[in-house]
Amino acid sequence: MRLILGSASPRRKELLAQIGVVPDAILPPDIDEDPQRGELPRPYCLRLAREKALAVDAGPDDVVLCADTTVALGRRILGKPRNAGEAAAFLVALGGRRHSVITAVAVRRGERLWLREVVTAVKMKRLSDVELNAYLSSGEWQGKAGGYAIQGLAGAFVPWISGSFTGVVGLPVAETAALLAAAGWPVHGGCA
């Protein structure tokens, strides 16, 4: 039995290490992550986590762990910005408002699939032009849902969250530990 992490995210690997879990292989699947027409954020996030888990090539006893993190402003999905202009638009839209960060986790072993979503409410302050331009210049927005990483420089822009900090980073560790344990993977981090 092997644990396969279906994600290239170094943050997800670090979060797993916090609970004593080290993947045997890292095999990020290549799937289409575009939202379907009219798709809402929560179903979108769950669909992507499920599709990622099903797309990873694994043996019948292997445990596959995949996740997807989506930033939602109401019914609007703010994915990974394509460029600095889109990142700026996302950050301006989020400024001074509460939004949701949804992380869906999928664990697969053989034909069985376990899914869990964690929704965290986040408030970002309004950014000054200086703050916005400095953040965009850092490049940290690249590859990040909503255009920001709470565990990095943007942590200074978030005065309040209600929910799972690790879920906002990209992998809610308590829920992930419980899913891994349900799939028969030994978790010794004390969370399962």
Q: What pLDDT, on a 0 to 100 scale, did the predictor assign at position 149?
A: 94
Q: For the segment 56-69, what is each residue's pLDDT rounded down to a tens digit?
A: 999 999 999 999 99
Q: What pLDDT, on a 0 to 100 scale, did the predictor assign at position 88?
A: 97
pLDDT for 107 beyond 60: yes
Q: Are 24 and 3 in contact (CB under 8 A)?
A: yes
From 30, 34, 62, 68, active-site residue: 68
Q: What pLDDT, on a 0 to 100 scale, did the predictor assign at position 2?
A: 95
Pairing of strands 97-109, 112-124: antiparallel
pLDDT for 80 beyond 60: yes
For 43, list phi and psi in degrees, rounded to 5: -60, -35
Q: What pLDDT, on a 0 to 100 scale, did the predictor assign at position 186?
A: 87
For 160, list phi and psi in degrees, rounded to 5: -155, 135
Q: What is the mean pLDDT of residues 35-47?
A: 96
Q: Give yes or no: 30 in active site.
A: no
pLDDT for 190 beyond 80: no
For 80, list phi and psi in degrees, rounded to 5: -80, 120
Domain covering 3-182, topology: Maf protein (3.90.950)
Instruction: Give the DSSP letter of residue 60.
Output: T
Residue 138 to residue 131: CA distance in whole angstroms: 11
* Domain boundaries of the chain, sorted by first residue: 3-182
